[in-house]
Chains A and B, each alone.
Chain A
Amino acid sequence: MPMDVGRVQKEIRDIERDRASGVTIEVQGNSLQKMIGCLKGPSDTPFEGGTFYVNIELDDQYPFVPPKMRFITKVWHPNISSANGAICLDILKDQWSPALTLKTALLSLQALLSSPQPDDPQDAVVARQYLGSLPEYRQTAKQWTDTYAHTQQVVGLEAKVQQIVEMGFEREQAVVALRAAAGDENQAMEILLGA
């Protein structure tokens, strides 16, 4: 059975309408199966001030199976792989329910940034640091936020957007991909091509 497109369209409209939630979503391509989600780092955490991009893929079985989510922006957090952005969160695995949505999943990621669960780590090195030396963890996490998640002013963004648009991609998608890739054209292309 093909994906429930009607529900996904409703979900996207709902996210677009609800500007107060602090999460946004951008569809990549025409199939509604690939998107990029975006969330703000919660205040009073080392992620404050950062903008975090999340790669989203929907299976044909969605919403009966969870959406596949992975951080594109590099994050220093016990439940997020510092190498590839893989996320350890129960609702994205066996605790998924079709009553949940892309919006609630993105909000859950935001909540995860606020409350790490070091006993169920995705990244053992980060978890060890979190449990062993909390101030050091906070410092590293903040450093990563400053380095990778401050993408509001990408240097020379417009020129890079133009370049990608000339290759035949849509402007909106080029902007989101470049922001997610912190201005790296090669990584932006990989995002756009779904690599």
Chain B
Amino acid sequence: MTFEVRIKKWHAVASWTWNAGDDVCGICRMPFDGCPPDGKYPGDDSPVVWGICTHAFHLQCINRWLQSQTEQKCPFCRRQWEFKQAVVGGEDESEDGAGT
């Protein structure tokens, strides 16, 4: 027995999340998928960034910390802070890139 199914209409639903290991930012303690205190919208308005030490923070949070310091160090491991380049396309799931 076979059925013929005709699709008249469909809704595509997608979910997104930052590909960050920890679920909250270590500075503001808000979820990475949410906003830092001075952010209005999650997502591209509240981007998550990585240091070469692999620690992640909201861009606004780490920027505010670095601007207040003469020495640029990661708040977690105190290693010299350098921004890690985002992986364009986010193909490689094993990389801590800004996969969406």
Q: Hey, which bits of chain A sit against chain B, CB under 8 A?
A: 1, 4, 6-7, 10-11, 61, 63-65, 97-99
Cα distance A11–B29 in the bound complex, in angstroms: 9
Distance (Å) between the CB of B21 and the closest chain A CB?
15
> Are A99 and B75 in contact, CB atoms less than 8 angstroms apart?
yes
13 CB < 8 A contacts A-B: A4-B28, A6-B28, A6-B29, A6-B30, A11-B29, A61-B68, A63-B27, A64-B64, A64-B65, A97-B76, A98-B26, A98-B61, A98-B75
Q: Hey, which bits of chain B sit against chain A, CB under 8 A?
A: 26-30, 37-38, 61, 64-65, 68, 73, 75-76, 78
Given A6-B37, A7-B37, A64-B68, also A99-B76 (CB < 8 A): yes
Residues of A within 8 A of B37 (CB): 4, 6-7
Cα distance A1–B64 in the bound complex, in angstroms: 11
Q: Which of A1, A11, A65, A99 makes the CB contact (< 8 A) with B26? A: A99
What 3 pairs across the A-B complex have the smallest Cβ distances? A99-B75, A97-B75, A98-B27
Closest A-chain residue to B67, C-beta based? A64
Residues of B within 8 A of A1 (CB): 38
Residues of B within 8 A of A97 (CB): 73, 75-76, 78
> Are B38 and A99 in contact, CB atoms less than 8 angstroms apart?
no
Residues of B within 8 A of A98 (CB): 26-27, 61, 65, 75
Cα distance A63–B29 in the bound complex, in angstroms: 11
Main secondary structure of the interface of A (DSSP, over half): loop
Cα distance A98–B68 in the bound complex, in angstroms: 11
Q: Known pairs A1-B38, A7-B29; list 15 more (Cβ under 8 Å).
A: A6-B29, A6-B30, A7-B28, A7-B37, A10-B29, A64-B65, A64-B68, A97-B73, A97-B76, A97-B78, A98-B26, A98-B27, A98-B75, A99-B26, A99-B27
Cα distance A1–B61 in the bound complex, in angstroms: 13
Distance (Å) between the CB of A12 and the closest chain B CB?
12
Residues of B within 8 A of A6 (CB): 28-30, 37
Cα distance A158–B85 in the bound complex, in angstroms: 62
Residues of B within 8 A of A61 (CB): 68
Cα distance A4–B64 in the bound complex, in angstroms: 13
Distance (Å) between the CB of B95 and the closest chain A CB?
23
Cα distance A64–B75 in the bound complex, in angstroms: 10
Distance (Å) between the CB of A96 and the closest chain B CB?
9
- Give the most central of B29, B30, B38, B68: most A CB within 10 Å: B29
Distance (Å) between the CB of B74 and the closest chain A CB?
8
